[in-house]
Amino acid sequence: MSRPARRFPKEFLDRYSQFIPDFSEFLEAMQTPLRRTFRINSLKTSRDRALELLSDLRPKPIPWTDLGFSVEDGDRLGLRIEHFIGLIYVQEAASMVPPLFLSPLPRERVLDLAAAPGSKTTQMSAMMQNSGLVIANDQSPGRVRALISNVDRAGCLNVVVCRRDGGILASALRGSCDRVLVDAPCSSEGTIRKSTEALDRWSVAAIRRFSGVQRRLALAGYDALRPGGTMVYSTCTLAPEENEQVVAELLRSRPEARVLPASLPGLKTRSGLAGFNGQEFPDSLALAARILPQDNDTEPFFAAVVQRAAL
């Protein structure tokens, strides 16, 4: 049964029609329920074995990752035994992108500054082959419980979980991390495809409120990098105030930082914006990635790869 069309606030339509050129396709995609996707957990099983166990669901590959798949009938995917014992992780397809941009390597020290519920933490742990160290942090007691549960279920032995203010923790780790992921708390416009509540609570005031938190976390995350280290800043929102503007302010505060290209084979992205509401952003932000729902059948996402200058 089709879902009734959603009524987007006029302010939402006015602001995003300014810089999303194929806007009617965007709105149609935002009203289409998300497909169910999952990631194979290479810490516990092989790709071939997982696909054999899930063959009744006829998984279809996600083009930008060998371990990601979508299924047509995935309403009960989270109840499968394969999920319960950690062979797979039910994860939105665009959510798999920031760790792939970050590309953590075995034996590195990685900080996941806003980690709960753990989808990207567990993905990075697997990419690192359970070696090195992933410091997974979240300030919320409830969200930390979910993070611990998912880390345990996925068999991640190289993860330490912290419950601290992200800025304070990053300050304590200043200059020591090879890579940092700041998948920042945001207004979550990307979740409109799976939750009417996200649209019901949407407001420009919320966007502005989150942007202050994001600027602080992005700067703290960058300062936790060792010289030559790499950070990915990402959100599941469309708002320039939470995306390009946050990175632009980081670049102004840390002029030695540089933005690297963010791309993956098989993933269609749009360039970061040149400006918004009369504010111009640095030219290098064109290298950031905007992931729109109509391009890859995902949630909207934003990600920028930032490198700290080597000594």
Is 236 a residue of the active site?
A: yes
> How far apart are alpha carbons 105 and 108 in whole angstroms?
6
DSSP string of 282-295, one letter each residue? -GGGGGSEEE-HHH
Active-site residue, selected from the candidate residues 156, 162, 186, 236: 236
Question: Which residues have CB under 8 Å from 256's CB, separation 6+?
Answer: 308, 309
Q: How many residues does the chain have?
A: 311
Q: Which of 304, 308, 300 has the alpha carbon at shortest distance from 95?
A: 300
The residue type at 227:
P
**What is the spatial distance between Cα 113 and Cα 103, in angstroms, rounded to a whole number?**
16
Residue with tokens 């998300």: 34
Q: Identify the helix (H) or strand (E) that includes residue 88.
A: strand 88-90
Inter-CA distances, 59 with 34, 40, 56, 83, Å:
15, 11, 8, 14
Q: Kindly list the catalytic residues.
A: 236
